Amino acid sequence: MKRNRVVITGMGIVSPNGVGIPSFLEALKNGESGIRYFPELAELNFSCQVGGKPVLSEGYLENYLNALEQRKLKSDGIIYGILAALEAMEYADIPLRSNDEPPDWNMGVVFGTGSSGAEKFREAIYQVDDGNVRRLGSTTVPQIMVSGISAYISGKIGAGNWVTTNSSACATGAESILMGYEHIASGKATKMLCGSSGDVGPYIWGGFDAMRVTNWKHNANPEQASRPISASANGFVPSGGAGALVLETLESAQQRNATIYAEVLGGAVNNGGQRQGGSMTAPNSEAVQRCIRSALQNAEIEPSEIDTINGHLTATAMDATEISNWCEALNRKGSDFPYINSLKGMIGHGLAASGSMETIATILQLQHDFIFPNINCEDVHPDILRQISEEKIPKQCINTSVKTAIKASFGFGDVNACIIFRKN
């Protein structure tokens, strides 16, 4: 069976270091951090008192949400997802369906999240405990159900094809893109809006603080706190936001004369089964390597064709292990290794939102011929330097033609996802 070629024709982002593609692109090239100090975390006795939260400028919401939606919506994740999704539709030059029109039967939505409406859920608990169940209102269920994010987006754009929400921890965003890719490639839809979003704040970040996997050493220097690849990394910095992409058949994009930002060559998802060293929180290295090799096989390319890697690289003890897995899977080391970078140095770990935000950063590199810098890794971990040459870990923006890139996300539960993109 002939498979459709799938391309990216729209992107939208709500990130701690930039809301909207133009702002995010500038921050990306300049290596600007979006991490800041939150006094409320200190008041709540958090060890890590820094994080990444998108800053929405005054009036920005009015561009995408009506007055009623702004008043009723309490879920940051849903708000971020809607904003990113509608920007992606604008970039794809796809008009939104009016309420008088039928849905677009050839367009679907796969939009993931790790949790939904923590603030709304907290409000609901207090109302119920106080005997005020009738005050919960009609928007409580849509905001706290995990699929609320895709339901809200579908209603905004009038999608009539497959509409669903996936949830695979930190691999959620990458997985959502692959789900949409497969749906289009197999001929079940012409367009899919894919991505992921994540709530922010103490109710989301508290569990990670309790696990002692977040950085507590840089509360006084928030912009230096997220340190992937660094010898002085002390754990990840939690954040949130959203990334959205419009995937479309190449034929449809060409018929519409749409701008094509990149082609999705293929990818793979697997699980380490929490065996062979893998656990709920640690990767099975063989599974990671298998995922990378399977992505290459699915995309029908050779390891030598990879120009740059956007890694998972969270600023934990697993960074060196991840580099080792890339070396083994690609059979490339030293100066032969591709360029590699991690967006988490600038925005922290967006959890379920990370894969989609990082995918957009990856595609922007292809579109604009640059490789964004790794910040806060002046002291590259010695175990990493024993495997790859330091020049492959750019500390400053590099202006160079990039043709083929691979994006990986690895998550709690030993889940892995890799996607390969090629410049149009």
pLDDT tens per residue, range 69-119:
888 888 899 999 999 999 999 999 999 999 999 999 999 999 999 987 677
Whole-number mean pLDDT of the chain?
A: 94
What is the pLDDT at residue 377?
A: 96
CB 28 within 8 A of CB 372: yes
CB 61 within 8 A of CB 70: yes
Amino acid at 109: V
Q: How many CA atoms lie within 13 A of 308 on its CB side?
A: 31
| φ and ψ of 356, to 5 deg | -75, -40
Question: Residue 13: in which H helix or E strand, if any?
Answer: strand 6-15
Helix ranges (DSSP H) in 93-163 = 118-129, 140-144, 148-157
Q: What is 352-369 written as a DSSP string?
A: GGHHHHHHHHHHHHHHHT
What does pTM read for this prediction?
0.96
Q: 17: which DSSP letter? A: T
Q: What is the pLDDT of residues 245-300, one digit of tens each?
A: 999 999 999 999 999 999 999 999 999 999 999 999 999 999 999 999 999 999 99
Q: What is the pLDDT of residues 123-168, one digit of tens each?
A: 766 577 678 777 777 677 767 778 899 999 999 999 999 999 999 9
Query: What average pLDDT score do residues 55-73 get?
Result: 88
Q: Which domains does the chain have, with CATH numbers?
A: 6-262 (3.40.47.10), 266-422 (3.40.47.10)
Q: What is the pLDDT of residues 197-219, one digit of tens each?
A: 999 999 999 999 999 999 999 99
Q: What is the pLDDT of residues 15-24, one digit of tens each?
A: 999 999 999 9
Q: 205: which DSSP letter? A: H
Alpha-carbon gap, residue 77 to 86, rounded angstroms: 14
In percent, the amount of the chain with pLDDT more than 90 equals 87
CB 27 within 8 A of CB 282: no
- The two tokens of residue 263 are 């082609």
CB 387 within 8 A of CB 323: yes
CB 172 within 8 A of CB 110: no
